[in-house]
Amino acid sequence: MTWIVQNLWLIPALPLLAAGVTALLEQRHRTLAASLAIGSMVLAFFLACGAFVQTLGGHGEGHEAAKQVFNIPWFQLGSSSVMIGWVLDPLTASMLVMVTFVSTLIFIYSVGYMAHDENFTRFFTFLSLFAAAMLGIVIANSLLMLFVCWELVGLASYLLIGFWYHKPSAAAAAKKAFITTRVGDVFFFLGLLWLYAETGTLLFYDNGNGCLEQSALTKLVGQTAFAGMGLSTAIALLLFCGAIGKSGQVPLHVWLPDAMEGPTPVSALIHAATMVAAGVFLMARVFPLLGEPSSVAREVVTWVGAITAIFAALVAVAQTDIKRILAYSTVSQLGFMFIGLGAGGVAVGMFHLLTHAFFKALLFLGAGSVIHGCHDEQDIRRMGGLRKFMPVTFATYAIGMMALSGVPLLFSGFWSKDEILHSALAWSPSKIPFVLGLAGAFLTAFYMTRQMWFVFFGEPATTHAVSNSKEAGHGSTQLHGAEAHESPRLMTVPLTILAACAVLLSVVGTPAWPWLESYLNGHAAIWNLARLFESGTLVTMIVSAIVAGAGIATGWIVYSRSGATVTGLDPLAQTFPKLFRILENRFFFDELYQATVIRLTALLGLASHWMDRLVWGGVVEAVSWIMLGVAWVNRFLDENVVNGGFDGACDSVRVSSRVASRFQGGQVQAYMKVIAIGLVVLTILALWGWRS
């Protein structure tokens, strides 16, 4: 076992340590806090690269041999122990490199973005915790450890979404994110318990004894959970509920757009490197539980992904907040990843996860730069013409936009989305996910063009009354589009690097040289240009290229002609007013939940409360009145009949009674006597009276 495998824990431990140290720092040590956070991430990145290199050698040795594990006991339980551990395999290594790299850039960018925030130091504490928890998920070789880090990711996102806690909307969004994801987590937890109960271990890989290894899988597949459903399917679906929550899939997606209340670097982190990626990664990790491509579990995953992909793309079309559009696009793209996982497999889903991480981080940081440049304006209708004032932001944002829209050949998003569509087309149970995916791809190109047009093209909007500036933590809220300025280099350099990655990452996943797929599956990649021209591949490529082109063209035509501004209606709203209203209101999901789940919860709360006060409380009240009645009768008897003789018999009671009577006026005394008499009578009865 090599050094890097044994010490893989250092990768999450470094940022965790940074989080711990900066948590204890006073607010004024800003530079130190940022340096610690960034320094630990850079170190973690180098270690991740080392781990990555280590896995490169594993090729050709077959699937299992590529996994190196290190397990240790956490605590003793009965005659055995509860184990945790970490695993180094291509899946872990590729995620490690991506997470550490993207996080490092976001951290650096944050130094510029958060420069004027009074809680700057605390911000880096939470960022480090976030990254550490995510890295913990990535290296975990135990579902328990994964769950622990999973919850910590939830905590960190809670703290960061609610970072501007003085805003009620941010505080509400943070709570909403935590609770909504926890709904999924409860099912995840049950899945974990079930897996533990059936296999007796939560280690993924443990020399043949792990819960994802053959013997355990055979056992799980062979059993029935209920209604004919296989046990492995039931467990996989419970775990998938956790992924639905974390990765913002329908119907638990509602928290993700609200999470935009956090500072923009947080949004970038949540949407690219950490948090939402965790759900997809979880499913990739427990992929052996899902079974064959046409199994129930994989059907559910694919369908949930497909519905989410189209749903969120539709909603994104009608949003006006630059970050909310991106948020819904993330939801939609995560749907694509799940289509990829369900229909195609780990490599397909993971490829899109990795490419998406780069260009979505780029888009969010670009949006942050725009917001920063426009003095905290987030409404795209109040922007316009920014390409002249923010050239670097414009150029990099355009690359991100094209990658997301799937512009052919040059951009990574094209290749990874193409892989997904290709596998959806080949998926035997149904072709509808493929159609939904295509429609989603079209809409993606459309709404991104719409956004580009509003923000960077057209004429600068000159609005005077800017009412609801979202990021109030930044002081000035007045905006004149014409006064926009380019962001500092601290922010534009990370943008440039991410833009380069958004292009370059294409290389690793083209059908001609599917390096990533081979790497994840543990064998060497073979260069074969001919594969590009295989009929299925070529057709999907052409279709997806046409769809992307059509989306961009439609968007351009619709918006460049209309000259839509903040005062005018969106052209779509003019043509389809009812539909647009539904989309604008996000299919009324929040309203639906407000009227059902949330109201029901509140009602159950009130019901329990009144149950306590009226029903149980009433019974107690009645009993206590009876007791008091008995007490008075006893007192009467005591004073007139027993008359002191008894008191001598139980001296101790009398002493405490006397103490009590000093401040009681006899009430407790009466009680004590009743108790004493009762005890003695009952004792006598029990010992002698009822003895046969």
Partner 1 sequence: MSSLPLISILTLVPILGGIAILLFGAGRNIAKLIALTSCAFAALVAIALWTGFDPASKQLQFVERHLWLPSMGIEYFVGIDGLGLVMVLLAAIVVPFAIAATGEITDRPQLHFALQLFLQAGLFGSFTALNFFHWFIFWELSLIPAFFLVKLWGGPNRTSAAYQFFVYTLVGSIAMLLAFLALYAASGTFDFIKLAELSRNGTLMTSVTSKLRWPGVMPEHVPMILFAGAFLGFAVKVPVVPFHTWLPATYAEAPTSVSMVLTGAMSKMGVYGFLRLVLPIFPHEMNAALPVLMWLAVATIVASAFAALAQQDLKRIVAYSSINHLGYCLLGIFAAAKLTATGVASEFDKTAVLNGVVLQMFNHGITAAALFCFVGLIESRSGGVRSLSNFGGLRKVAPVFCGLMGITLFSSIGLPGLNGFVGEFLIFKGAFGIEKIPTAVSALGLLITAVFFLGIVQRVWSGPLASRWTTFPDLTGREKLLVAPAVAMMFVLGIYPQLLIGLFNGTMMQLTQHLTF
CA atoms within 13 A on the CB side of 297: 25
Residue 589, interface with partner 1 (CB under 8 A)? no
Closest by Cα among 397, 390, 398, 395 to 374: 390
Site for partner 1 in 64-103 (CB under 8 A): 74-80
Q: How far is the CB of 491 from partner 1 (least distance, A)?
A: 28
Identity of the amino acid at 207: N
Shortest approach of partner 1 to residue 572 CB, angstroms?
36
Closest CB 51 distance from partner 1, rounded Å: 24
What's the CA gap between 330 and 259, in Å, rounded?
A: 12
Q: Enumerate residues 649-668 that contact partner 1 by CB under 8 A.
A: 656, 660, 663
193 binds partner 1 (CB under 8 A): yes
**Nearer to partner 1 by C-beta: 46 or 616?**
616
User: Is the peptide bond between 251 and the residue preceding it cis, with omega within 30 degrees of 0?
Assistant: yes
Which secondary structure element, helix H or strand E, spans residue 226, and what is its range? strand 224-226
> Toward partner 1, which CB reaches closer, 316 or 676?
676
Stretch that binds partner 1, among 59-67, 193-201, 588-596, 635-643 (CB under 8 A): 193-201
Of 606, 641, 642, 649, the one binding partner 1 by CB under 8 A: 606
What residues from 195 to 234 belong to the interface with partner 1 (CB under 8 A)?
196-197, 200
559 part of the interface to partner 1, by CB under 8 A: no
AA letter at 267: S
Cα gap 479→602, rounded to integer Å: 41
Q: Is 601 in the site for partner 1 (CB under 8 A)?
A: yes
Contacting partner 1 within 130-149 (CB under 8 A): 144, 147-149
Tokens at 576, concatenated: 């389809």
- What DSSP character marks residue 70? E
CB-neighbour burial class of residue 496 (10 A; exposed 0-12, middle 13-18, buried 19+): middle
Which one of 107, 189, 255, 447 is in contact with partner 1 (CB under 8 A)? 189
Does 532 bind partner 1 (CB under 8 A)? Our answer is no
Exactly one of 25, 190, 439, 525 binds partner 1 (CB under 8 A); which one?
190
Cβ-based neighbour number of residue 489 at 10 Å? 11
- Site size toward partner 1, by CB under 8 A: 69
Q: Does 597 bind partner 1 (CB under 8 A)?
A: no
User: Could you say which of 43, 183, 482, 512 contacts partner 1 (CB under 8 A)?
Assistant: 183
Kindly state the helix (H) or strand (E) to which residue 673 belongs, with its residue range. helix 667-684
687 binds partner 1 (CB under 8 A): yes
Residue 632 sits in the site that holds partner 1 (CB under 8 A): no
Q: What minimum distance in Å lies between the beta carbon of 359 and partner 1? A: 32
33 binds partner 1 per the rule CB under 8 A: no
- For tokens 């992904």, the residue is 305
Task: Report in angstroms how near the CB of residue 35 gets to partner 1 at its nearest.
Answer: 22
From CA 200, how far away is CA 288, in angstroms rounded?
17
Applying CB under 8 A, which part among 162-170, 484-492, 512-520, 572-580 lies near partner 1?
162-170
Residue 679 found at the interface with partner 1 (CB under 8 A)? yes
DSSP summary character for residue 270: I
Nearest one of 133, 42, 55 to 92, comparing CA atoms:
55
Q: How far, in Å, are 6, 30, 71, 235 from residue 85 at the CA level?
A: 10, 35, 4, 21
Q: Is 81 helix (H, G, I), strand (E, B) or coil?
A: strand
Q: How far is the CB of 151 from partner 1 (least distance, A)?
A: 5
Residue among 46, 588, 616, 632 that touches partner 1 (CB under 8 A): 616
Stretch that binds partner 1, among 155-163, 262-270, 369-377, 458-466 (CB under 8 A): 155-163
Asked whether position 683 contacts partner 1 by CB under 8 A, the answer is: yes
Which of 529, 538, 611, 633 binds partner 1 (CB under 8 A)? It is: 611
Q: Give the binding range for partner 1 (CB under 8 A) out of 88-96, 180-188, 424-432, 498-506.
A: 180-188
Piece in contact with partner 1 (CB under 8 A), picked from 205-213, 446-454, 513-521, 611-619:
611-619
Report the distance separating Cα 354 and Cα 356, nearest Å: 5
Q: Is 9 in the site for partner 1 (CB under 8 A)?
A: no
CB-neighbour burial class of residue 236 (10 A; exposed 0-12, middle 13-18, buried 19+):
buried
**629 touching partner 1, by CB under 8 A:** no
Pick between residue 10 and residue 190 the one whose CB is nearest to partner 1: 190
For the chain, state the CA radius of gyration: 31
Beta strand residue intervals within 399-525, DSSP E: none
410 touches partner 1 by CB under 8 A: no
Number of Cβ within 10 Å of residue 40's Cβ equals 26
Nearest CA among 387, 397, 380, 399 for reference residue 486: 387
In DSSP terms, 224 is beta-bridged to 230
Q: Which is nearer to partner 1, 567 or 692 (CB)?
A: 692
The helix or strand, by DSSP H or E, that contains position 73, with its residue range, turns out to be: strand 68-77
Q: Give the contacts of 243 (CB within 8 A, at least 6 positions apart).
A: 184, 188, 249, 278, 279, 280, 282, 283, 338
Q: Which residues sit at the interface with partner 1, rule CB under 8 A?
A: 74-80, 144, 147-149, 151-152, 155, 158, 162, 165-168, 170-172, 174-175, 178-179, 182-183, 186, 189-190, 193-194, 196-197, 200, 601-602, 604-609, 611-612, 615-617, 619-620, 623-624, 627, 656, 660, 663, 671, 675, 678-679, 682-683, 686-687, 690-692
